Amino acid sequence: MTVHDLGYLYYPEAHTRFQNAYLRWSTRHNARTAARVLADSQATCDDLVRHYHVPADKIVVVYPGRDEGMAPVTDPVALSAVRARYGLTGPYFLHVGTLQPRKNLIRSFAPLPPFLPLASSL
């Protein structure tokens, strides 16, 4: 099984009571019964040991990878086509994730300069 994080333990207000109960039960149950647990960070590994008493030797930290094909696009024709297709008239920052207060998106991105080039990689 793979565990990405135990954020629901630290930010229970980001989930309903039902979701919290389900996440606590299913993560505990699956982590204890799985032959191997994959955690995508050392912090998640530590949380599994601390909160659910999963043996550390049962957990393997596997950091998320990336596909070389996902490199920033620099072709001006392709960039113009995407801007036209989605009606993008100015600079933007693409965030792929949930819009939950625990993500701190406003605070995290407020210090960024007002313009980020389209093809920049963060």
pLDDT digits (tens, 9 = 90+) for 4-45: 999 999 989 888 999 999 999 999 999 999 999 999 999 999
Residues 27 and 54 in one domain: yes
Record the tokens describing residue 45, joined without a space.
């590994």
Question: pLDDT at residue 121 above 70?
Answer: no
pLDDT at 118: 45
Q: In what order do the strands lie in the sheet with 59-61?
A: 2-3, 37-39, 59-61
* CA distance readout (Å), 69 to 48, 50, 116: 33, 37, 22
Higher model confidence: residue 83 or residue 70?
83
Residues 97 and 79 in one domain: yes
Residue 115 domain flag: no
- Indicate if the alpha-carbon torsion angle 86, 103, 43, 51 is positive or negative: negative
Which residue type, as a one-letter code, is found at position 99?
A: L
Q: Which domain holds residue 34?
A: 2-61
Per-residue pLDDT tens digits for 72-110? 888 999 999 998 998 888 777 777 777 777 777 766 666
Residues 12 and 42 in one domain: yes
